[in-house]
Amino acid sequence: MNDPVIFAKAIADGTRQHIMRLLCCEWLCVNDVVDKLGGSVTQPTVSHHLSILREAGLVEVRREGKQMFYALNQQAVALCCGQLMQVFAPEVEMGDGGNAGFIPLSSFSNP
């Protein structure tokens, strides 16, 4: 996935962001995600969100028997974030810790 717009649309939803955090460091099936979300999101809704993330290339999928397991594609996330930085902050050089050259938002005056 190389399209920053698709990436931005995929992460524009709070539930999808939460799902991405859950998938950051482990493989989970849909029901595991539903459980970790505390039942606040139904299984069909989680499946829908995973489908969007999958189409955007942000999650990896593996099959075990009849179940599908999902994990965050951290490399794709890093690539997309880098592309967004090139477009919106081309003068910022990313270095040690990823914050080199970072200008805090608070340093800008409000219009």
Q: Are strands 67-72 and 59-64 parallel, antiparallel or unpaired?
A: antiparallel
Size of the chain in residues: 111
Kindly state whether residue 14 falls inside one of the protein's structural domains.
Answer: yes
Q: How many domains does the chain have?
A: 1
Confirm whether 88 is domain-assigned: yes
Q: Rounded to an integer, what distance in angstroms lies between the CA atom of residue 55 and that of residue 76?
A: 12
What pLDDT was estimated at residue 71? Answer: 97
Query: How far is the C-alpha of 66 from the C-alpha of 84, rounded, in Å?
Result: 37
> What residues contact residue 41 under an 8 Å CB cut-off, 6+ apart?
15, 34, 49
Does residue 58 lie in a domain region? yes
In a domain, 106, yes or no: no
What is the tens place of the pLDDT at every residue in 46-89? 999 999 999 999 999 999 999 999 999 999 988 888 887 887 88
Which domain, by its residues, includes 47? Answer: 4-98
